[in-house]
């Protein structure tokens, strides 16, 4: 995960190109843009192991600053590209694309960035190019590791002359130092029999090199005083050699077992000394901690100041820093205004106007109280631009809201017309339903009447049937009686006839 990304590309005419999109992808990432930032940069002469060292710093951060970060020798060293040999490997300025979030003992979560720089004084780089890269590295970083070979020489201090002069101007202007931590990292320390490896030995050597002694030239004394004045935290670390295979064998592939144990022991002291949570140094401008997003503004103005190909005067760099501090304060004030306006309820132009007036004042107050470098005229200029920009934003917002409300009013009128039409249609439908109900009622009544008539007819039929049945029974009874009467008469006639016959027959 992550890779070294080139954020500064050198051109053939000693100018350079700032790769803003690459830089924005790192610094303006949502997870880190509002986090305070720690920038650890390594600079120095070419082919002296800067990228090699940075890969160890990367390994420590990947292990979340745990003490066992160097224990597993089966995992080869990876990260920043490095290789043995005499030809330079890194050009321009590189930034590791993955910021590491580390929680400090105070409970603050900060973003840690690692920066690699093109080696100085090779056979293809001009003095202007080398100086610009070294200068930008120190200006951007909160911890500058000055990678040097075997010993601290006077020319190493001379390379800090520009920053000493700049720091003097800045301190005079603001009363505060502009740089933070400077570490002289002496590789392959040549005199371990005089001074032991590590931070304690480095402290001894540094005290000796920065000491002002009798008979020393005034310029050398002034340089030492200015370096100590503009870098409030200066340290030195003496490193042993990494081993013959690392130095001379191009087949070395990063496995820890090929590195001298003495070098690895020194790393176990050096890397936490730089990166342990309690030792992290957050980037500050004018005594104010800055975020990744604010660092983006400063890098832009620094790159612009050094763009001409010539090393600018310290005064010009101070002006660039002043503009950067004002730009950062302006961006912070804009964010306050814009985020609050975004949350302001819409639908009432009067309330929107009131919110604008309140937030514009709050943004201006925040800008005025933000720590900045520069004179009052510069502040007034930036404040005027801030006010114009926010007023312009509000004017656009107000017009958009006004048009939106007009459209909504028109839509509401249209909706009201549609509701009126719908009410009319509903009334018509209700009338039709009422007519239908009346018809239904009439139909029910008619059906009931017909039913009742049918039932009455059925009752009449039943009554007629009953009468007919009664008449039939009566007639049947009468017939039966008639037949019975006729039978009796017939029998009587038969008897009478029989009697007559009997009488006519002579008796013997």
Helix (H) or strand (E) holding 93: strand 93-96
Among 272, 231, 289, 234, residue whose Cα is nearest residue 109? 289
Q: How far apart are CA 335 and CA 329, in angstroms?
A: 10
Which 3 state secondary structure label does DSSP give 149? strand
- Here the tokens at position 17 are 């190109």
Among 235, 334, 236, 325, residue whose Cα is nearest residue 284? 325
DSSP 105: T
Q: Are 248 and 199 in contact (CB under 8 A)?
A: no
Q: Strand pairing of 284-285 and 288-289?
A: antiparallel
Domains of the chain: 4-312 (3.40.50.300)
Q: How far apart are CA 208 and CA 295, in angstroms?
A: 35
DSSP 439-469: HHHHHHHHHHHHHHHHHHHHHHHHHHHHHHH
376-504 vs 349-369: helix crossing angle, rounded to 10: 140
pLDDT averaged over 10-residue windows placed end to end, the chain, 508 residues: 87 81 95 96 77 90 91 79 53 90 96 85 56 84 93 86 72 69 93 93 94 86 84 93 75 75 93 96 89 92 75 75 87 93 88 93 92 84 94 93 88 90 92 91 90 88 87 85 79 82 74
Q: Strand pairing of 93-96 and 109-117?
A: antiparallel
The β-bridge partners of 106 are none
Name the percent of the chain in helix, strand, coil, to the closest 5. 60, 15, 30
Q: How many Å separate Cα 285 from the centre of its chain? A: 25
> In terms of residues, how long is the chain?
508
Q: How far apart are CA 199 and CA 215, in angstroms?
A: 29
Q: Are 150 and 186 in contact (CB under 8 A)?
A: yes
For 448, half-sphere exposure in the C-beta direction (CA atoms, 13 angstrom radius) is 6
- Here the tokens at position 497 are 């006839």
Helix (H) or strand (E) holding 284: strand 284-285
Tally Cβ neighbours within 10 Å of residue 88. Answer: 15
Which 3 state secondary structure label does DSSP give 285? strand
Q: How far apart are CA 364 and CA 334, in angstroms?
A: 9
pLDDT of the residue at 462: 87
Q: What is the largest CA-CA distance in the chain?
A: 217
249-to-4, 85, 252, 259, 261 alpha-carbon distances in Å: 24, 9, 6, 12, 17
pLDDT of the residue at 32: 96
Among 45, 46, 42, 48, residue whose Cα is nearest residue 4? 42
The pTM of this model reads 0.71
pLDDT of the residue at 82: 59
Q: How far apart are CA 334 and CA 370, in angstroms?
A: 13
Among 382, 337, 285, residue whose Cα is nearest residue 36? 285
- Phi, psi (5° rounding) for residue 506? -75, 140
DSSP 109-134: EEEEEEEEEPPBS-SS--HHHHHHHH
**438: CB partners within 8 A, 6+ apart:** none
DSSP 47: T
């Amino acid at each position: 995960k992550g890779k070294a990304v080139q954020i500064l590309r050198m051109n053939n005419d000693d100018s350079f190109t700032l790769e803003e999109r690459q830089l924005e992808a790192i610094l303006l990432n949502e997870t880190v843009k509002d986090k305070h930032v720690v920038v650890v940069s390594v600079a120095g002469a070419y082919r002296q192991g800067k990228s090699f060292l940075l890969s160890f710093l990367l390994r420590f951060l990947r292990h979340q600053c745990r003490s066992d970060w160097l224990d597993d020798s089966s995992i080869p060293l990876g990260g920043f590209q490095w290789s043995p040999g005499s030809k330079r490997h890194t050009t321009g300025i590189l930034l590791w694309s993955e910021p590491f979030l580390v929680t400090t003992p105070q409970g603050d979560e900060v973003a840690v960035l690692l920066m690699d720089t093109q080696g100085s004084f090779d056979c293809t780089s001009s003095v202007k190019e080398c100086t610009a890269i070294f200068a930008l590295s120190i200006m951007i970083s909160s911890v500058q590791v000055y990678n040097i070979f075997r010993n601290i020489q006077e020319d190493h201090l001379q390379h800090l002359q520009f920053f000493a002069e700049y720091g003097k101007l800045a301190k005079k202007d603001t009363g505060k130092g502009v740089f933070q931590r400077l570490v002289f990292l002496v590789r392959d320390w040549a005199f371990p029999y005089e001074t032991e490896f590590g931070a304690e030995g480095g402290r001894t050597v540094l005290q000796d090199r920065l000491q002002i002694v009798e008979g020393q030239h005034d310029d050398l004394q002034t340089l030492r005083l200015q370096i100590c004045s503009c870098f409030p935290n200066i340290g030195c670390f003496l490193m042993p050699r990494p081993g013959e295979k690392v130095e001379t064998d191009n087949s070395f592939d990063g496995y820890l077992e090929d590195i001298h144990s003495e070098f690895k022991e020194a790393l176990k002291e050096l890397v936490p000394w730089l990166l342990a949570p309690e030792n992290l140094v957050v980037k500050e401008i004018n005594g104010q901690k800055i975020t990744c997003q604010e660092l983006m503004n400063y890098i832009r103005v620094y790159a612009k100041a050094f763009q001409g190909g010539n090393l600018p005067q310290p005064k010009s760099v101070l002006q660039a820093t002043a503009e950067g501090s004002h730009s950062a304060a302006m961006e912070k004030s804009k964010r306050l205004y814009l985020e609050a306006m975004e949350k302001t309820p819409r639908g009432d132009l009067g309330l929107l106007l009131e919110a604008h007036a309140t937030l514009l004042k709050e943004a201006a107050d925040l800008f005025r109280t933000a720590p900045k470098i520069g004179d009052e005229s510069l502040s007034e200029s930036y404040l005027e631009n801030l006010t114009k920009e926010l007023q312009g934003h509000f004017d656009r917002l107000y017009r958009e809201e006004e048009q939106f409300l007009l459209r909504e009013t028109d839509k509401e009128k249209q909706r009201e017309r549609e509701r009126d039409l719908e009410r009319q249609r509903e009334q018509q439908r209700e009338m039709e339903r009422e007519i239908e109900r009346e018809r239904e009622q009439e139909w029910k009544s008619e059906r009931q009447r017909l039913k009742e008539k049918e039932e009455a007819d059925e009752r009449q039929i039943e009554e007629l049937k009953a009468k007919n049945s009664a008449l039939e029974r009566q007639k049947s009874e009468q017939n039966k009686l008639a037949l019975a009467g006729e039978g009796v008469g017939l029998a009587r006639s038969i008897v009478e006839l029989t009697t007559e016959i009997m009488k006519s027959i002579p008796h013997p």
